[in-house]
Every structure is written in C-alpha cells, then in structure tokens.
A and B are shown apart, each in its own frame.
Chain A
C-alpha cells in the first residue's frame, strides 16, 4: 500500500489515473474533467461494479481505508465531489 500523498495535486492526479484505469476511459478525456463534470449516474461505464473497483484502487494508491458508510451517490456525483472526498481522506 502507498504512503500518504503530500499534496492536493498529487491526490488529484491519482484520482484521474484511477478513473481512467477503472472505467477504461481515455486519459485525455479524464484530464479534461472539471469540478462540475458529472460522474456516477452520468457515465455508463460508472456502474456499481466499477464503484467497488474504484474504491479499492483509491485505497491502494492513496494508502487510505474507505468505510462502507462513507460511500453514497452524492460523494461520487461529480468529479469535484469525489476529489473533495479523496483529499479529505488522504491529506488529514
């Protein structure tokens, strides 16, 4: 498991890489995501199985643990919401 990242940019880069890997999206497309880009419910690739993979891969690469009660549709609704969650977990 990775050691905790140092800064907010590192968390953002990791999140973009994980989204591209797990959802099978073109990294150039993921690089263009902004805070308001809708994710869960908007991308057909982002189904419930992908959620499981996304959470586990984020845990591995950010060195964090995500509890089931922390996961809901709101925190995955947009790229910005997911980034806020990942930063809060990784940088505290």
Chain B
C-alpha cells in the first residue's frame, strides 16, 4: 500500500493543494491535470498511474489548479497566468523536499507547464487551447448549458483560445496509438478524456507509469 497524503503549497498570497502518493523524498513526478471536464474524466487514470509510479520508487504528486478541486478560489476569479504560477510553485514546493520534479502534464495541462523548474517534461496528448475552447463551446451547445456549466472569466477564455504548448527541453511527447500526430512514443489505450462517463484503463495506466519511469531515469542526469 503506498502512502497518500495532501500538502499545502504557497502561490504568491494564496495556498493550493497537492496530492502525494509515495515517499516524499523519492524522485518526484508532478502531474498537471487536463482542464474542465477532461480533468474529471481522467482523474481515475491519473491516480492509477500515480500509484503504479510510486510502486516503481517514485513520489507522484498531483496539483489542484486554482479554481478546481480543493482550491478555495472560485474559477471565475482565476486568471490564465495563475495556472502557470501554480505549476511553478508546486514544482518549487517539491524541490524543497527532493530534487526538481519531472513534470507529467496531460492535454490542456501542457499549455502552462513551461515556466516551472523541472528535470524534464513528459506531455501526454498535448492539445492547443483553441481545440479545448471549441470542445467546451460544443459541449455547451449539446448540453444546453454554456461551457457545460463552467464559468471562467472572459480573460481566461481569451488566453486559453490563443494558447499552445511552449517548447521546453528535455521533452518527451506521448500520444495514443490511434492518434496520427507525431510523438516520441505511442501507447495503447482509450481516449478517456472523450468519454461522457469517467472511466479508467489498467492497460493505459501501466503503460504511462512504465514510460514515465523510463523517461525519469533518462532525465535524472540533467
């Protein structure tokens, strides 16, 4: 059984939360979740991958972005740059206990992971902000509730629409085997972020943990 704990971390004048699975001083992997509905749909997958990474000797961390999860702020008051600050501050919090983390960002989480001090980056199915925006607008039309009930500020919406993943190094791009776009490795498994019901995949969680562990070792020297 791996330890699961929550830790507070400071971001400027506020505090947010990190979930931790594994021994706190073990080589760290910081997970940055996808945005909006995709965050819920992939939660079980991320936590399954975190448990498996902990078994492989890592400490897996997952942050709650401002205005999501355990955050005390409302989404409406969150600016786009807050999320970049969150990732940077979470990585700094982890670096105080162990070495700099490897950042494992998923989908929309790849759009603001670049400013953190990290050993390396591992991006899963990265996506442009414009595609996230189109999906939210469409989901709103289909469900009859604008933006599927999420109410970010106009400023955040505008920044999201214009956002694309920023080049970092060392970087490993990971995609599903069924995705035609270029990647360093392709993993077998379902696109859980598209399902209307949240689910998980043991196969995909194991593939993610194995590839993260491998990439973490490769980045260890940098």
Contact A22 B195 (CB under 8 A): yes
Residue from A3, A14, A54, A59 in contact with B178 in the complex, judged by beta carbons closer than 8 Å: A14
CB distance from B197 to the nearest CB of A (A): 7
State whether A1 and B178 are in contact (beta carbons under 8 Å apart), knowing that A22-B195, A49-B143 are contacts in the complex: no
Which chain A positions have C-beta within 8 A of B195? 21-22, 24, 53
Residue from A21, A22, A60, A68 in contact with B131 in the complex, judged by beta carbons closer than 8 Å: A60
Query: A13 to B188, alpha carbons, bound, how many Å?
Result: 15
Q: How many A-B residue pairs have CB under 8 A?
A: 71
Contact B128 A1 (CB under 8 A): yes
CB distance from B44 to the nearest CB of A (A): 14
Query: A50 to B142, alpha carbons, bound, how many Å?
Result: 9
Contact B131 A53 (CB under 8 A): no
Count A interface residues, CB 8 Å.
28
Query: A3 to B179, alpha carbons, bound, how many Å?
Result: 11
As a 0/1 sequence over residues 170 to 193 of chain B, the CB contacts with chain A under 8 angstroms (1 = contact) are 000000101111000000001100
Determine if A75 is an interface residue (Cβ-Cβ < 8 Å): no
Query: A52 to B154, alpha carbons, bound, how many Å?
Result: 22
Contact B178 A21 (CB under 8 A): yes
As a 0/1 sequence over residues 21 to 63 of chain A, the CB contacts with chain B under 8 angstroms (1 = contact) are 1101000000000000000000000011111111111011110
Contact A56 B197 (CB under 8 A): no
Contact B138 A60 (CB under 8 A): no
Determine if B40 is an interface residue (Cβ-Cβ < 8 Å): no
Which chain B positions have C-beta within 8 A of A1? 128, 131, 181
Which chain A positions have C-beta within 8 A of B181? 1-3, 60-61
Contact A2 B180 (CB under 8 A): yes
Determine if B196 is an interface residue (Cβ-Cβ < 8 Å): yes
Which chain B positions have C-beta within 8 A of A60? 127, 131, 179, 181
CB<8 Å pairs between A and B, sample of 30: A1-B128, A1-B131, A1-B181, A2-B179, A3-B181, A14-B178, A14-B180, A17-B178, A18-B191, A20-B178, A20-B190, A21-B194, A21-B195, A22-B191, A22-B194, A24-B190, A47-B196, A49-B142, A49-B143, A51-B138, A52-B138, A52-B141, A53-B135, A53-B139, A53-B196, A54-B194, A55-B138, A56-B134, A56-B135, A60-B131
Q: Which A residues have a C-beta under 8 Å from some C-beta of B?
A: 1-3, 5, 10, 14, 17-18, 20-22, 24, 47-57, 59-62, 68
- Having A21-B191, A56-B138, one finds 4 other A-B pairs with CB under 8 Å, namely A2-B180, A48-B142, A52-B135, A61-B180
